[in-house]
Amino acid sequence: MNLEDYHGVWVFIEEQEGTIAPVSLELLGAGRRLADKRGVELAGVIIGNQVKPLASTVFEYGADVVYVYDQTIFKDYRTESYMKALLHCCETYKPEIILFGATSTGKDLASAVATDLPTGLTADTTELDVEEDTGLLLASRPAFGGNIMATILCKKYRPQMATVRPKVMKALEAETGRTGKLVEEKIDIKEEDIRTKVLDIVKATTKKVRIDEADIIVSGGKGLGSEEGFQLIHRLAETLGGAVGASRDVVEAGWIEHHHQVGQTGVTVTPKIYFAIGISGAIQHLVGMKNSSMIIAINKDPEAPIFEACHYGIVGDAFEIIPLLIEQFSQALEKEEVNHVGEV
Ligand X SMILES: Cc1cc2nc3c(=O)[nH]c(=O)nc-3n(C[C@H](O)[C@H](O)[C@H](O)COP(=O)(O)OP(=O)(O)OC[C@H]3O[C@@H](n4cnc5c(N)ncnc54)[C@H](O)[C@@H]3O)c2cc1C
Binding residues among 304-333 for other proteins as defined by CB under 8 A: 307-316, 320-321, 324-325, 328-329, 332-333
Distances in whole angstroms, Cα of residue 328 to Cα of each of 73, 231, 236:
57, 18, 11
Given its phi and psi angles, is residue 212 left (phi above 0), alpha (psi -120 to 50 degrees) or beta?
alpha
Compute the distance between CA of residue 1 and CA of residue 232 in angstroms, rounded to an integer: 60
Shorter beta-carbon distance to other proteins: residue 65 or 310 = 310
Q: Looking only at residues 235 through 264 of this chain, which bind other proteins when binding is defined by CB under 8 A?
A: 240-241, 258, 264
Torsion of CA 283, 289, 295, 301, to 10 degrees: -30
DSSP string computed for 12-35: EE-EETTEE-HHHHHHHHHHHHHH
Best CA proximity match to 59, nearest among 186, 182, 185, 163: 182
SS3 242: coil
Compute the distance between CA of residue 85 and CA of residue 71 in angstroms, rounded to an integer: 10
| Region binding ligand X by CB under 6 A among candidate stretches 28-36, 174-182, 188-196, 248-256 | 248-256
Is 167 a residue that touches ligand X (CB under 6 A)? no
Is 234 a residue that touches other proteins (CB under 8 A)? no
- Among positions 256, 269, 318, 325, the unique one binding ligand X when judged by CB under 6 A: 318
- CB under 5 to 8 A by kind: which of ligand X, other proteins, none does 344 bind? none
Is 300 a residue that touches ligand X (CB under 6 A)? yes
- Among positions 45, 121, 128, 224, the unique one binding other proteins when judged by CB under 8 A: 121
Size of the site for ligand X (CB under 6 A): 36
Best CA proximity match to 24, nearest among 299, 16, 184, 176: 16
**Residue 97, H or E segment:** strand 97-101
Strand pairing of 15-16 and 273-277? Answer: unpaired
- Among positions 37, 52, 94, 107, the unique one binding other proteins when judged by CB under 8 A: 107
Shorter beta-carbon distance to other proteins: residue 44 or 120 = 120
- Among positions 285, 295, 297, 325, the unique one binding ligand X when judged by CB under 6 A: 285
Shorter beta-carbon distance to ligand X: residue 29 or 229 = 229
Burial class, 249, CB count within 10 angstroms (exposed 0-12 / middle 13-18 / buried 19+): middle
- CB under 5 to 8 A by kind: which of ligand X, other proteins, none does 301 bind? ligand X
- Among positions 52, 103, 174, 185, the unique one binding other proteins when judged by CB under 8 A: 103
Q: How far is the CB of 324 from ligand X (least distance, A)?
A: 13
Is 278 a residue that touches ligand X (CB under 6 A)? yes
| Region binding other proteins by CB under 8 A among candidate stretches 31-39, 47-55, 73-81, 91-99 | 73-81
Shorter beta-carbon distance to other proteins: residue 177 or 198 = 198
Best CA proximity match to 106, nearest among 41, 42, 20: 20
Compute the distance between CA of residue 291 and CA of residue 124 in angstroms, rounded to an integer: 16
| Region binding ligand X by CB under 6 A among candidate stretches 12-20, 47-55, 99-107, 140-148 | 140-148
